[in-house]
Amino acid sequence: MYLPRGLIAHLYQSLLKRNHAAAPPVLLLVALEPDALCACRILTALLKRDYIPHKIQPIAGYGDLSRAAQDLIRPMRTTDGGSGGVVVCLGVGGMVDLEEVLGLDVDENGQGGTGDVEVWVMDARRPWNLSNVFGAPLSADPATGELVRRQAGVDKGRILQSYQSGRGGIIVFDDGDIEEELSAEREAYCALEEMPEVGEGVESEDDDSDDPDEEDTPQSGQAPKKRKSMSDQDDSDEEMSDDERPRQRRRSNSGGSIPSSPERRPERRGLVSIANRLGGSSDFSRSDSRSRSTSPAIAIPKEKSVKTLRKQLIAMRDKSTGVLDKYYQLGASYSEPVSSLVYSLASELGREDNDLLWNAIVGVSSLELYGRTGSGVGLNPLSAAGGSAGWNGDRGERIRAVLRDEVRRLNPADLKDLARETTIGDASGAIPTSARSATDKAIRLSPEPRFLMLRHWSLYDSMLHSPYLSARLHIWSDAGRRRLDKLLAKMGVSLSQCKQKYTHMDMELKRGLRERLLRFAPVYGLDGLVPPPPRNGDMKDGWGFVRCWGWKACLSAIDVGVILGAILEVGDAKSLNQSSFDTSNFISAQDHAEMTANNNANASSESQPGPTAIDAQEHITARFWTAYDALNSIDLVVDHIPTAQYLHKAILRTGTTLIEKKQIRHLRAFRMAVVKEGPDVQLFTHPGALTKLALWVAEAIVELNGTKGKNRGSELVMAGLDDVRGLYVVVGLGGGGATESAKERLVRRDARKKDREAKKAAKAAERARKRTARIERNLAAGLDEDEVDDETEDEDSEDDDGASDDAEEEEEEEDKERGSGRNRFGNAFQEVVRETGARVRMDSFEACVIEIRKEDLTGFLERLSMKAVVG
């Protein structure tokens, strides 16, 4: 089931009404990423204000999700002695069948079920698992007592205003795309859900008759043989060693891998039911005497045979299944960030304030750091637009425009500031580095350049470690360093000035920095280094967000996102030795010794993750709480600035080494790089850190080699060696890019439809004119008017055929555009695993991230190079 965007506060208000002293706490399952972390902060603030008890459970991957289901969620069910309750998934589980994964489905004996456990799903990853979106929980029909997937207040998966929550089920929060984009998938899913069972290739005795006119009459009450449903398909090929992820995908007819299609209803239906659904006659037992008594002047409509009805039903089923297959095969993409969606909930409830707004801004800004675009994980082709403008296309810009409006509303500018901006002008806007008073905690807009942690580094180091500037100046080479020095010299900034901390630089240099960048950056191809000129009437389009905490600190939203990511990927700064990040930063020394000693033993038991792997994952999960606390403590954020700086120094070092040693190979469908030596190798065993390195390398590759074909030539597979566990962590970086939104596609499709209808109307008018002229000519010649009717039949038939062909071509073109440029590494990984039997663990919520045994990597990549990795 899905909750439309217009009813986003409906469930929360129902929860508030049901809240009481003995109510079970709300369970929050939160992914280990900055966006979900910020969303958790916003939601917990709402729950605390309304005195709703809650519990937070960090979820690192599908293994953690399965354990949480076993230990926390199933005991909540009323069927297991619990009291029901609400589970909120933030950035968790949108791509899998949560009813199955969380153990809320009904078994073969009719036991289990949701047990009044209601699961709210907020996830930016796509594609959705349509069982979550359109499926309803099994419940007993009051009339017949049979188990049916039907719930009051739900229309074809859409929750209505009359829906009463608290009865259990999976509920997806729609960010608008489901309503606007998935209408065809909704109809197909519901058609499959309501479709009766029918056996394929099972012929009755009557079907074998050679007489096509003979009427097929099945035995009374005999239901057709139940076909093998999608949920019963053999998943043995998809079993992977070390794979903790629950079975969430089934194989499609085309050989791809798709999330589960709707299961058939368990009740028995006869062929009479099939005939009724297909529009045929249900009176199969009509006697021959009645037929003979019918007047011979009246033709009796021929009834369709059972064989014909079965074929029609199978054709309908295949057509609906094909619609779902197309959706699942589009590839990965990202929609509205979870933090933005939860802030919309707070806004609907009238609870927004500066703290919640700041968390939403940080969450939205963090997605850019991980390359999460409307086409999946990859480079953004619009990144040259300057600042954050252009990231994730028009949709991302609309979200940031809303946030800028919220900043202006909740942080009204002082009259003195307005006068100063009017006098100086936005083109000379200085980058704020300090608060305006000891109690200043306002959020402001700032013309942020594409530098990294400028306020907490020197100008030189900030420019040096900027992925955007590094790629375009070729900063990994001596010539690139000289270009950077020359750019600073042209700007009139001496090396002594730019290598001291930015806050200590000369005030005049800081005030004129943006103006100098606008003047000299285009000379070096750095047009996107600073926010672009105003557009769409917004004088601060593309500007970033900055917040101060009195005299303590002043940070941009991107800075906070970088620091939170570093905490999650590297660890607690208090336990780090900045001169050497060894393995003790990732797992304890005891765990390290155990993993080294048991490495060979673990290699022989691949079906389940070993205890050392679980210990390491728990160590990573513990970082969640440090990051969670940092969102509410500026002191913690400042303490972890060195951690973020070290991570990005390691990215620059490792990326430079890969390019200088020419360790980036060009395979058929993508480029490949492997990090298996060096001081920072253990650092890149975390998928988040490895993704950042891959983005840095991919941007450098594009600058070195240019684009290739319709894609940007940035398809990259990056592998990081975890020698302790004897495996590689692999991330697949797609073409990236910001596709147009669903609303834009609908507008374009409606325009094409109107154009087609106008052409059709023009042709009809032309035919009518010609027909009228022909009638007049024939009447003048003494012919009857009826004699000219057949002359236009061929023209009408040709026009109808042409219109049908145009509609089919338009549908194919739309499907192609819809999935154009998307990251399909997740699909390709699963196909290769089935073909090669490689020992792979797919535990990450990112479909393009896997773990693979060291000895299986070469064969896996060779087969992967033959697959389509970008849609």
The three-class DSSP label of residue 354 is: helix
Q: How many helices and strands, by DSSP H and E, does the chain display?
A: 31, 25
CA dist 330 to 337, 724, 743, Å?
Answer: 20, 36, 18
The pLDDT score that the predictor gives to residue 405 is: 92
The pLDDT score that the predictor gives to residue 535 is: 58
pLDDT digits (tens, 9 = 90+) for 735-753: 655 444 445 555 666 676 7
The pLDDT score that the predictor gives to residue 202 is: 43
> 588 or 209: which carries more pLDDT confidence?
209
Range among 375-379, 557-561, 760-764, 802-806 with highest mean pLDDT value: 557-561
- Is the pLDDT at 542 greater than 80? The verdict is no
> 597 or 504: which carries more pLDDT confidence?
504
The pLDDT score that the predictor gives to residue 211 is: 44
pLDDT digits (tens, 9 = 90+) for 16-26: 999 988 889 99
Separation between Cα atoms, residue 232 and residue 230, nearest integer Å: 5
Position 105 confidence tier, pLDDT thresholds 50, 70, 90: confident
- Is the pLDDT at 800 greater than 50? The verdict is yes
Q: Mean of the pLDDT values across residues 498-519?
A: 88
475: which residues sit within 8 A by CB, 6+ positions away? 464, 469, 481, 484, 652
The pLDDT score that the predictor gives to residue 736 is: 55
Residue 659, H or E segment: helix 641-660
CA dist 686 to 538, 585, 850, Å?
Answer: 39, 12, 11
Q: Mean of the pLDDT values across residues 523-550?
A: 77
The pLDDT score that the predictor gives to residue 804 is: 53
From 426-435, 508-517, 782-791, the region with the lowest mean pLDDT: 782-791
Q: Are 329 and 827 in contact (CB under 8 A)?
A: yes
Q: Mean of the pLDDT values across residues 260-264?
A: 49
Give the residue from 800, 861, 396, 839 showing the smallest Cα distance to 669: 861
- Is the pLDDT at 712 greater than 70? The verdict is no
CA dist 610 to 263, 410, 591, 602, 613, Å?
Answer: 34, 50, 12, 6, 5
Q: Mean of the pLDDT values across residues 555-584?
A: 72
Q: Are 843 and 245 in contact (CB under 8 A)?
A: yes
The pLDDT score that the predictor gives to residue 251 is: 38
Two structure tokens written together for 575: 């336990």
Separation between Cα atoms, residue 149 and residue 249, nearest integer Å: 21
- Is the pLDDT at 231 greater than 60? The verdict is no
Q: Mean of the pLDDT values across residues 120-146?
A: 85
Q: Mean of the pLDDT values across residues 648-671?
A: 91
> 249 or 633: which carries more pLDDT confidence?
633
Two structure tokens written together for 473: 């100046």
Neighbours of 713 (CB within 10 A): 19
From 270-284, 417-431, 700-714, the region with the lowest mean pLDDT: 270-284
pLDDT digits (tens, 9 = 90+) for 817-862: 665 678 889 999 999 999 998 999 999 999 999 999 999 999 999 9
The pLDDT score that the predictor gives to residue 531 is: 80
- Is the pLDDT at 65 greater than 60? The verdict is yes
* CA angle, residues 403, 408, 414, in degrees to nearest 5: 155
- Is the pLDDT at 208 greater than 50? The verdict is no
> 792 or 555: which carries more pLDDT confidence?
555
The pLDDT score that the predictor gives to residue 574 is: 53
The overall average pLDDT reported for the chain is 77
- Is the pLDDT at 394 greater than 80? The verdict is no
- Is the pLDDT at 464 greater than 70? The verdict is yes
Percent of the chain with pLDDT over 70: 70
- Is the pLDDT at 630 greater than 90? The verdict is yes
Q: Mean of the pLDDT values across residues 524-541?
A: 71
- Is the pLDDT at 338 greater than 70? The verdict is yes
Secondary structure (DSSP) of 100-168 = HHTT-SB-TTS-B--TTEEEEEE--EESPPHHHHH----EE-TTT--EES--TTEETTEEPTT---SS-
The pLDDT score that the predictor gives to residue 734 is: 81
The pLDDT score that the predictor gives to residue 522 is: 87
The pLDDT score that the predictor gives to residue 565 is: 94
From 172-176, 495-499, 702-706, the region with the lowest mean pLDDT: 702-706
pLDDT digits (tens, 9 = 90+) for 293-310: 444 455 556 677 788 888
Position 253 confidence tier, pLDDT thresholds 50, 70, 90: very low
- Is the pLDDT at 364 greater than 50? The verdict is yes
Q: Mean of the pLDDT values across residues 649-674?
A: 92
> 470 or 225: which carries more pLDDT confidence?
470
Indicate the pTM of the whole model: 0.80
487: which residues sit within 8 A by CB, 6+ positions away? 473, 520, 521, 523, 524
The pLDDT score that the predictor gives to residue 548 is: 92
Residue 344, H or E segment: helix 338-348
> 77 or 588: which carries more pLDDT confidence?
77
- Burial label for 213, CB within 10 Å (0-12, 13-18, 19+), is exposed
The pLDDT score that the predictor gives to residue 207 is: 43
The pLDDT score that the predictor gives to residue 387 is: 59
Two structure tokens written together for 511: 């005030």
Range among 320-329, 425-434, 618-627 with highest mean pLDDT value: 320-329
